[in-house]
Structure 1
Amino acid sequence: MGGEAAQLTPARIDFSGVDPAAPGTGRWAEVRAEVMGALTTHGWFDAHYPQLTPELRAGLFDAAVRPLFALPVDAKRRNYHGPEKPFHGYLGGLPGLDSYESLAIVDGLKPESVRAFADLVLPRGANDDDGFCEIVNGAAKRIADLEGMVRRMILEGLGVAEHHEAQGESFWHLFRMSEYRAPNSDEKVTGYIAHQGGNCICTIAKE
C-alpha cells in the first residue's frame, strides 16, 4: 500500500524563475529535469506557476466561472457549435452525470473569441464591463504559456526540440470551464469525473 500511495502522489514543481519567452535561461534546465522525472514516474505533476496568481484564480472562479454557471440553461445552450462538435460548446444533462456542466470557448487565447462568447451567453448589459473578458483571456494566456513551456521541455528531454515550433503551429486551444457536484455534498465545485484526456490538459484550482 505504501508504494501504491507514493505512486499516486504527484510531484509539485515550482516554475518560479522560468520565463516562457526565454527558454534555457534561469532555472529552465533544473525544472526540465523535474518535469521529465515526474512524467516518467507519475505521468503528471502539480505545477506552481506564479503567473497564475491567487488574485487571477480568485477572479476567474468568483467573477467569471461561478456567475457563468448560475445562468439559465437556455442561455448556456446558446454556446453551441453543431452536433458534429459537441465538445466545443455547452455540455449538460449527460446520462449518469446529471450534476455536470461545462462551457468551452474556442480560441480562448484571442480576445475577440472571448468577447463573442460573452456576447452570446451573458445577459444583455451584463458584459458591458470588460472584466469578464479580461479575466478569462488572461487566464487562458497564462495556461497556454505554462503548457508551451512544458511541451518544449518534454521535446528537449526527448532530444527532438527542433520540432517544437512546427508542433506548436499545429495546435489550437479550447478553454473549457466545468462544474459538478462534489461527492456527498450539495455544493458545486469545478472539476470532472476521473477520465483520460486525449490531448494536453491543464487544470487550475482556487487555492
Structure 2
Amino acid sequence: MGFEDQKNDQLQIPKIRFEGLDLSQAGSPRWDSARSHVIAALQTYGCFDAVYGVTAPELKGMLFGRPVLDLFELGLQEKLQNTSDKPFLGYIGNSLPNVFPYQYESLRVVDAHNLESVEKFARLLWPGGNPNFCNAAWTVGKHMRELEQMVEKMILESMGLEKYFVRQVESLEYGLRLTEYGIPSDQENKLAMRSHVDPNMVTVICQHQVGGLEVLSKDGDWITVEPSLDAFTVVTGEAFGVLTNGRLEPCRHRVKITSNESGKRYSALFSSRPKDGVVVHPAEELIDEAHPQQYRPCNYNEYLRYVATTKEEKSMKAFCGVAKEETRA
C-alpha cells in the first residue's frame, strides 16, 4: 500500500494536558501521569496534541498577526538572506522548484528561544530589525522549547535513560520554521507537502486556522489533525528512532489542504536537531538479545547532506541501519 492511500476522518490522535507543568515538576504524580500518556501515544501514533491551555491562544495570536504577515510580505531577495551552509536549514520555497514542487515559502529562525539570535535574524531581513517580530518569535520559541524539553525528558525517563537528559539537551540546537502555503500545485490530490518523516529529534507543530496536517496510522490510514486553539502537535523524528534503537518510530505525516476557504495557510514548527559534529547512536541500555542493534552511529549533518544529494531511498534506516545479516551475526 502506498503512502497516499485512504484517509480516516474518524480517528483522532491523543490529546495530553500540559497546563501548569514544567521541568521542575518531574517526578510528581501529574508529571508521571502525563509521561505515561506521552509514551503510549508516541509508541502508537508517533505523535500527540499537547494541550497548553490559555497560553497557546495567546502565543498563536501574538505570532500569526502582523509578525508572520510582515515576514512573508518581504521580497524574495530579502528572504534569501536566510541562508545556511547545511541543507534545508535556511530559506526554502519557490526558488527550489525541483526539490519542493509545491507553492510554499518557509524561513527558519535559529535558536528562536534566544532573543539575540532572533534579533540577528531580523536584522538580516529588515533595516530596523522589526522589534514586533522579534518579541513574538522569541516568546513563542521560549514556550515551544520548554514543551519540547518536557517531552524529551518524559521519553528518556520512560526508556530508563533519564540520567542522559542534561547531556541530551546540551547536544541539541533548536529552530523555529515559519511557513506560508499557497494553493497546492497538485490539485487532484490537494497535496501541499508530500508524505515524509522529519530527520530531527522532536518537532512541535502549530497550525493556524487553515488545517492540512495528516499523520499516518500503523494501519495505513491518514488521520486528520485539526488546528486546535489550545494545543500544539508533537511528532518524533528519525534521530529519536536511532537513539531509542527503533523503540520509537518516526511519525510519517503530510500536508493536504482540502479547505475551500480563500487565503493562505500558515504554520510554525519548532524542532530540535543534533548540533554540528554530534553523532547519534542507540543507547546501550536499549540493546539486548530481544532488541538487537538497529542502527550504526550516525553523524547527523552527514545524513542531511545525504538526503539532499542522493537519488536513492532517503531515510536513516537506509543511511545507517544495521542490515539483517549483521543483526543475526
Q: TM-score range with shorter-chain normalisation?
A: 0.7 to 0.9
Give 1:188's aligned residue: none
SS for the counterpart of 1:33 is: helix
Partners of 1:7 and 1:42 within 8 A in 2: no
Measured against aligned partners, the alpha-carbon deviations of 1:20-42 in whole angstroms (never above 9, x if no partner) come to 33322351011111101111111
More strand, by proportion? 2
Give 2:152's aligned residue: 151
Distance in 1 (alpha carbons) for counterparts of 2:205 and 2:92 = 18
Q: Does 1:22 align with 2:25?
A: yes
Distance in 2 (alpha carbons) for counterparts of 1:164 and 1:126 = 35
Is the deviation greater in 8-17 or in 153-162?
A: 8-17
Of 119, 125, 139, the residue aligned with 1:121 is 125
Taking structure 1 as the reference length, the TM-score comes to 0.84
Distance in 2 (alpha carbons) for counterparts of 1:141 and 1:17 = 15
> How far 1:194 moved relative to its partner?
3.2
Give 2:114's aligned residue: 110
Q: CA RMSD in A?
A: 2.5
Counterpart residue identity of residue 162, structure 1 = K
Q: Cα distance 1:160–1:12, how it changes in 2: closer, same or farther (>3 A)?
A: same
Give 1:187's aligned residue: none
Measured against aligned partners, the alpha-carbon deviations of 1:113-167 in whole angstroms (never above 9, x if no partner) come to 1001111112x3462xx32211101101111100100110011111111111111
Distance in 2 (alpha carbons) for counterparts of 1:49 and 1:86 = 32
Computing the radius of gyration from Cα coordinates, the structure with the larger value is 2
Give 2:188's aligned residue: none
Q: Cα distance 1:75–1:195, how it changes in 2: closer, same or farther (>3 A)?
A: same
Distance in 2 (alpha carbons) for counterparts of 1:142 and 1:192 = 26
Give 2:211's aligned residue: none
SS for the counterpart of 1:172 is: strand
Q: Does 1:39 align with 2:42?
A: yes
Distance in 2 (alpha carbons) for counterparts of 1:25 and 1:137 = 29
Q: Cα distance 1:135–1:51, how it changes in 2: closer, same or farther (>3 A)?
A: farther
How many matched pairs? Answer: 195
Taking structure 2 as the reference length, the TM-score comes to 0.54
Give 2:250's aligned residue: none
Give 1:97's aligned residue: 101
Map 1:1-207 → 2, pairs under 5 A: 5=8, 9-25=12-28, 27-50=30-53, 52-81=55-84, 84-93=85-94, 94-95=96-97, 96-122=100-126, 124-125=127-128, 127=130, 130-183=131-184, 192-199=193-200, 200-206=202-208, 207=229
Distance in 1 (alpha carbons) for counterparts of 2:122 and 2:148 = 25
Partners of 2:103 and 2:183 within 8 A in 1: no
More helix, by proportion? 1
Q: Cα distance 1:63–1:6, how it changes in 2: closer, same or farther (>3 A)?
A: closer
Measured against aligned partners, the alpha-carbon deviations of 1:151-198 in whole angstroms (never above 9, x if no partner) come to 1001111111111111111001121111112549xxxxxx85432101
Partners of 2:41 and 2:47 within 8 A in 1: yes
Distance in 2 (alpha carbons) for counterparts of 1:53 and 1:97 = 32
Distance in 2 (alpha carbons) for counterparts of 1:7 and 1:39 = 19
Q: Cα distance 1:126–1:205, how it changes in 2: closer, same or farther (>3 A)?
A: same
Q: Cα distance 1:197–1:103, how it changes in 2: closer, same or farther (>3 A)?
A: same
Q: Cα distance 1:134–1:198, how it changes in 2: closer, same or farther (>3 A)?
A: same
Unmatched tracts of structure 1, length 5 or more: 185-190
